[in-house]
Structure formats: structure tokens, C-alpha cells
Amino acid sequence: MDYIRAFLMGGLICAIAQILIDKTKLTPARILVTYVTLGAILGGIGVYKKLIDIGGAGATIPLLGFGNSLAQGVIKAVEKDGLIGAFTGGLTATAGGISAAIFFGYIFALMFNPKTKK
Amino acid sequence: MERDVKKEQEYKNIAQKYEPKPTLLKNVVMAFIVGGLISDIGQFFLNFYLSKGFSMEDANTLVAITMVFIGAFLTGIGVYDDIGKFAGAGSIVPITGFANSIVSPAMEFKREGFVFGAAAKMFTIAGPVIVYGVSTSILIGIIYYFLK
């Protein structure tokens, strides 16, 4: 059951992005920036948590979930440490994903070469 | 030969009926399916890490690391771009697409050097994502501090 819900939630989020790409002048890079910002806002006002309760990984895997993690991390850190948490919480909560992206990204870029365009 | 206007119009009508429909619907369906499948792979790893006794928070971090690894690897061997050709947003929006946006330019610009080529170009798309994401979250933190 959780697989069906993850499929539907993740699929829906990607389908909306596809409509935005096809129907507006938004490029994929702008979609990603929009999604991470929107995810942070939805996370900040507590709405995104409900989407995660419904969709599980379907809500955390899209970049909206990355924005939500930033916001949740900040809120948690502010609760604990006060105002300084606004500056420490976001990257602390997302450190794993960002570090992995930098490290694996660099390693695989060294190991592989771009396929020659056919 | 005399032109038969009526016949021409008839032909146009028939031709229009068989013209390929705008690809929007197909694009959206493909994005939905691929985005859904990638989410299910994430759900599989989430369930796996939870079953190993990790907390929800740690399990989610491990899923992010795992998916980034897969996305970066598939980009390296050239498979992710093949998926992207028909998946569109379905391969861009998941976190695997974030990894793809890092590896792809890094490979491309490697020949311009390892510092200002590969390492700098890694962040062509990931950089703006982090700038906007982190800045928004800091604003949220400040607002939250004063409102709570």
C-alpha cells in the first residue's frame, strides 16, 4: 500500500512539474529552484508534513522534500538553540544528501566521461 | 485543372483528425510514471532502512544518500540521460535528478581542468538550488523565532 501511495504522490509532483515546463517558460533549472523554495515554505507552515504522511518517499524524494527538510531542520534548531538555529538547522538536516551529492558527484565525474553524442 | 474547394476542405478535416496530438499529455503521463517509479525505489530503501532499526530521520537521510549515489552512477554510465529523454520532469524533480544535474556538467567540463572545470561546473544547477533553498529556510527560521 505504501508503494502505491508513494507512486501516486511522487508521480503527481513530477506531473505538475512537467505541465509547468510544457505550458510556461520555466526551464528545468528554474523548476528545481521553484520546487526547493516552495518545499521550504510548505515545510515552514507545516503543510508538507501531511503530504509525507500520505505519500512517504513519494513526498520526500522529489526536490520539494529537500526544501521541506531544510525548513524542518531550521525550525527544530531554533526550538533548541534560539535564533542561531536559523543559520545552522537547514544544512545540518540536509548534510547527508548534500555531502553525498558533492562527493559521489565528483567521484563519478572523474571516473566516467560523457557519452559521445550520436 | 479546376480546384475543388469542397474536396480540399474535406481533406483538411480528415488530415487534421489524424495529426499527432500535442505531446503534452504523453509528456505528463511519462513524467508521472517515471517520477512514481523513482519514488517507489526510494520507498523500498526507506522500508529497508527502517527494518534495520534506523530512526525515521536517519532512514530518510540514508535514502537521500542512496538515491544520490544511484542518480550519480546512472549519470556516469550514461543511462540517466536516456531515461531523461522520455521521462522529462519525472527524472528531473526527484533527488536523483539533483545528482544528475551535478555529475552531468562536471563530466562535460572536466577537460577544462579539475578546479574551474569539473569542480566549479558541478554547481551550475545545484548551486542555485542550494542558494534559494538555504536562504528561504533561514528566513523561515527567523520568522519562526519571532512568532513562536
- How far the first Cα of chain A sits from its last, in Å, is 42
B94 DSSP β-pair partners: A62
**B19 Cα to chain A: minimum distance (Å):** 19
- Over residues A87-114, mean pLDDT: 96
Pairwise CB contact (< 8 Å): B126 & A40: no
pLDDT computed for residue B49 by the predictor = 98
In a domain, A117, yes or no: no
In a domain, A26, yes or no: yes
Dihedral angle over CA of A11, A12, A18, A21, nearest 10: -140
SS3 state at A116: coil
Count Cα atoms within 13 angstroms, Cβ side, for A40: 31
Answer yes or no: is pLDDT of A94 > 90.
yes
pLDDT computed for residue A65 by the predictor = 97
Pairwise CB contact (< 8 Å): A17 & B28: no
pLDDT computed for residue B17 by the predictor = 72
In a domain, A94, yes or no: yes
In a domain, A37, yes or no: yes
pLDDT computed for residue B84 by the predictor = 95
Query: B91, A32 in Cβ contact below 8 A?
Result: no
The predicted-structure confidence for A17-35, as pLDDT tens digits, reads as follows 999 999 998 899 999 999 9
| Mean pLDDT, rounded, of chain B | 93
Distances in whole angstroms, Cα of residue B41 to Cα of each of A51, A75, A76, B108, B145 = 18, 29, 28, 28, 37
| Mean pLDDT, rounded, of chain A | 95
Q: How many domains does chain A have?
A: 1
> Which ipTM value was assigned to this complex?
0.94
Q: Which three cell numbers stand for residue B59?
A: 532512514
Query: A31, B45 in Cβ contact below 8 A?
Result: no
Pairwise CB contact (< 8 Å): A11 & B35: yes
Answer yes or no: is pLDDT of A118 > 60.
no
Q: Which three cell numbers stand for residue A9?
A: 504522490
Q: Which residues of chain B have pLDDT under 50?
A: none
Place of cell 503521463: B29
In a domain, A118, yes or no: no
Tell whether pTM > 0.90: no
Cα–Cα dist B100/B74, whole Å: 8
Q: Measured between beta carbons, which residues in chain B are less than 8 angstroms from residue A66?
A: 64, 95, 98, 129, 133
Query: B39, B94 in Cβ contact below 8 A?
Result: yes
SS3 state at A110: helix
Domain chopping of chain B, boundaries: 23-147
Res. A97 pLDDT band, cuts 50 70 90: very high
Q: Which domain holds residue A81?
A: 2-111
pLDDT computed for residue B22 by the predictor = 62
